[in-house]
Amino acid sequence: MKIYLNGTYVSKEDAKISVFDHGFLYGDGAFEGIRSYNRRVFRLQAHMDRLYETAHTLMIEIPMTKEQMIQAVVDTLNQNNLDDAYIRVIVTRGVGDLGLDPRKCHGKPGVIIIADKITLYPEELYRNGMAIMTVPTVRNHSEALNPQLKSLNYLNNILAKIEANNAGFNEAIMMDTQGYVAECTGDNIFIIKNGVLLTPLTGRLKGITRDMVLELAESNDVKTRETFLTRHEIYNADECFLSGTAAEIIPVVKVDGRLIADGKPGRFTQKLIQQFKKVTASDGVPY
């Protein structure tokens, strides 16, 4: 495996960063998770736009242009000769001292690109659907750490994942600070109710897979609405599914012990999974 580390390629064993890097000390940085299918990088521009927006808000100046970053992602895929891959782009504040003041980080921000594989959930769950639960840990308040930022600080999502794992589940639904459904630990959430596709309006990451699901629904003449959702609405949905780059699209069939409709993956969800496969196999930046 060849890993892009600040402009050079190194082996997995040699891919090391300083213990004084604020990405390590404080989670001070940004990241993206991207997939390629069939030697095409899916929605690369959208991932780059989101990465640069996160960095802009964090006031981290990425030491390369978006075009150079796109080229580095493509080059990393070629270096590793992967037809299908999960690509992790990481930008760290860089090396500073033990204080959190970012002004002490004198060097350039760090840029790391890893191309590998990822499987989030067992294959069987994509066919039969997943049982998930709501957890006590809430998603960040927008005025604390905006969930729109894909920062290196994922501790509240990790706590939520631990709560679900402790109870024997693979995934957690997190609420926002007002008690509305926000998203899962690494996925956006959708329901279908009376033929309308519903998904949380705020308090969640603006997922790139989420955007694609909304586009696909509209092209199927399914009405979509971004709104406020409660647990009650999830329990009584006709269909429920999650979306994410790593997770792709996965049906949800039980939430907090309540079956979703008949407890089987919904018809629209299954159609969407088929359409998702078609689009991802043919769209994207070739390499």
**Which of the following is catalytic: 16, 66, 150, 223?**
150
Is 248 one of the binding residues for ligand PXG (CB under 6 A)? no
Nearest distance from residue 154's CB to ligand PXG, in Å? 7
How far, in Å, CA of 193 to CA of 205, rounded?
22
**Whose CA is closest to 192, among 264, 241, 125, 226?**
241
Which one among 28, 163, 183, 239 touches ligand PXG, defined by CB under 6 A? 183
> Whose CA is closest to 133, among 185, 181, 177, 171?
171
Backbone angles phi, psi at 71, to 5 degrees: -65, -40
Site for ligand PXG in 143-182 (CB under 6 A): 157
Q: Is 120 in the site for ligand PXG (CB under 6 A)?
A: yes
284 binds ligand PXG (CB under 6 A): no
CB 41 within 8 A of CB 82: no
Q: Is 33 in the site for ligand PXG (CB under 6 A)?
A: yes
Q: Residue 2, interface with ligand PXG (CB under 6 A)?
A: no
Out of 96, 109, 244, 284, point to the residue binding ligand PXG (CB under 6 A): 244
**What separation in angstroms does the CA of 285 have from each of 35, 53, 73, 223, 249?**
11, 21, 10, 29, 21
Neighbours of 19 (CB within 10 A): 9
Residue 216 makes contact with ligand PXG by CB under 6 A: no
Is residue 150 part of the annotated active site? The answer reads yes
| Cα 148 from chain centre | 11
Segments in the chain forming alpha helices (H): 22-26, 44-58, 66-80, 123-128, 155-166, 208-219, 231-235, 267-282
Q: Where do we find the tokens 């998770």?
A: 33
Indicate whether 74 belongs to the interface with ligand PXG (CB under 6 A). Answer: no
Part in contact with ligand PXG (CB under 6 A); list of ranges 67-75, 76-84, 185-193, 258-266:
185-193
Q: Is 207 in the site for ligand PXG (CB under 6 A)?
A: yes
User: Contacting ligand PXG (CB under 6 A), which of 82, 205, 234, 252?
Assistant: 205
Residues near ligand PXG, by CB under 6 A: 33, 120, 157, 183, 186-188, 205, 207-210, 243-246
Point out the residues that are catalytic: 150
